[in-house]
Amino acid sequence: MWFENACVYHIYPLGYCGCEKQNEYKEPINRLAVIENNIGHIKSMGFNTIYFGPVFQSVAHGYDTVDYTTIDNRLGTNEDFARLCRKLHENGIKVVLDGVFNHVGRDFEKFKELRNGNWDYRDWFHVHDGNSCYNDGFYYEGWEGHYELVKLNLYNPAVKEYIKQCITGWVKEFDIDGLRLDVAYCLDLNFLKELRGHCKWLKEDFWLMGETLHGDYNKWMNHEMLDSVTNYECYKGLFSSFNDMNMFEIAHSLNRQFGAENWCLYTGKLLYSFVDNHDVSRIATMLKNKAHIPLIYPLLFTMPGIPGVYYGSEYGIEGDKHHGDDALRAAWDEQAFKNNGLCDLTALIKKLCGLRSGSKALAHGSFKNLQLTNRQYSFRRDADGETVVLLLNIDEAPFDMNIGIAGEFTDILTGEKADLSAPVHMDGYSVKIAVSK
């Protein structure tokens, strides 16, 4: 499947395009042109997939959907988005949309009908006797206590059919290649099975990736449900290992998930891996030692999983969750990002994308820890005669690593030959990615 070799660029469109925070439902403005004009930048870094946050008509932040069939007027029209998707495909870039199916906004048409006394749509939601905090005259369930987000009743066949019809429309109108399911951990498992069957019927290679936090990812990611889920376990392990100078944490998670502990129930599982996104602080803010910023991405791209980079982080920009979600969702301003960022990673990411998109070992290879100390870490990936070895020194002091692997290797970051059979000298704050084919 194409997503085995995906390198994902994550865009939160309402932020990227500098949209108003509240939708006043005015005439559409084609702000999607900002993304269209940056296709060259995205392609030049080697990304072959864009995961778009919410793009459909909503009350405010996109996860409070009003209309699943209409592009948010703050972004543009359906025609504008169709043109953007067409140009992305022409440039070899797949399109993945946010599927927000657990809840809708209070302005969602059928909920407005219910509020206006049309009880035909009561079973579309989880409605009970009582009253809401909005004095609707009835009580309804909101997502995790957020009553501006009205929970859909995914046990109702009419609701499920409506969602499937919307997805069919997205494939026909925009030719999308996959979905990221918002709060997949809240979705009914039978609904996920139905959704998979429908999406794979639309496109056999359709990618279904779901948002999960912690727990047994096998529950949602298997042959009957999702292809991938968000790997929040390793997200936490990545920044914690650097901040605590304790590489044992990420090494333990990777070994548990993909190594000797054999957590995988079937081979080829590809979790979605990331160091930041629209919901968490930017990695440049999270890392205490800014010298670690260019070290964490090689680890992200070589560990098992599908790597994703959140827009703007290729320039090392900061964003603190404690200052609210808006701090994480800045409008695109490349010059400001270059001026204010802590580290221009674009050249590094280009090399990493080039390796990841063409490597069988990184797509579906085995995983084995090689050498591990608090401040140094090495592992290998193998598949079809290709070996990729990561060597990482997060300490400021140099270190000689001893992994004892024979063969001819090239460090793809420098182009230099690497002899892994002898001690490998690592400068302080350095990384090598040795590849043998």
Question: Among 364, 396, 425, where does a domain finish?
Answer: 364
Tokens of 122: 């009561």
The per-residue pLDDT for range 195-248, each reduced to its tens digit, is 999 999 999 999 999 999 988 999 999 999 999 999 999 999 999 999 999 999
Question: Among 364, 396, 414, where does a domain finish?
Answer: 364
The per-residue pLDDT for range 384-416, each reduced to its tens digit, is 999 999 999 999 999 999 999 999 999 999 999
Same domain, residue pair 185 and 264: yes
* CA-based nearest residue to 289, from 242, 248, 246: 242
Same domain, residue pair 185 and 222: yes
Same domain, residue pair 253 and 399: no
Which pTM does this prediction carry?
Answer: 0.97
Same domain, residue pair 334 and 347: yes
Q: Cβ distance 140 to 151 under 8 Å?
A: yes
pLDDT of residue 266: 43
**Number of neighbours of residue 119 by Cβ within 10 angstroms:** 10
pLDDT of residue 265: 45
Same domain, residue pair 274 and 325: yes
Same domain, residue pair 334 and 210: yes
Question: Among 316, 342, 364, where does a domain finish?
Answer: 364
- CATH number for the domain including 425? 2.60.40.1180
Same domain, residue pair 175 and 140: no
Q: How many angstroms separate the CA atoms of 240 and 271, rounded?
A: 19
**What is the C-alpha radius of gyration for the chain, rounded to an integer number of angstroms?**
23
Same domain, residue pair 187 and 308: yes
- CATH number for the domain including 143? 3.90.400
pLDDT of residue 269: 78
Structural domain span for residue 121: 103-153
pLDDT of residue 267: 52
Same domain, residue pair 274 and 177: yes
pLDDT in tens for each of the 437 residues of the chain?
999 999 999 999 999 999 999 999 999 999 999 999 999 999 999 999 999 999 999 999 999 999 999 999 999 999 999 999 999 999 999 999 999 999 999 999 999 999 999 999 999 999 999 999 999 999 999 999 999 999 999 999 999 999 999 999 999 999 999 999 999 999 999 999 999 999 999 999 999 999 999 889 999 999 999 999 999 999 999 999 999 999 999 999 999 898 876 665 445 678 999 999 999 999 999 999 999 999 999 999 999 999 999 999 999 999 999 999 999 999 999 999 999 999 999 999 999 999 999 999 999 999 999 999 999 999 999 999 999 999 999 999 999 999 999 999 999 999 999 999 999 999 999 999 999 97
Same domain, residue pair 163 and 127: no
Same domain, residue pair 318 and 339: yes
Same domain, residue pair 36 and 52: yes
Structurally, the chain folds into a number of domains equal to 3
Q: How many angstroms separate the CA atoms of 160 and 126, rounded?
A: 14
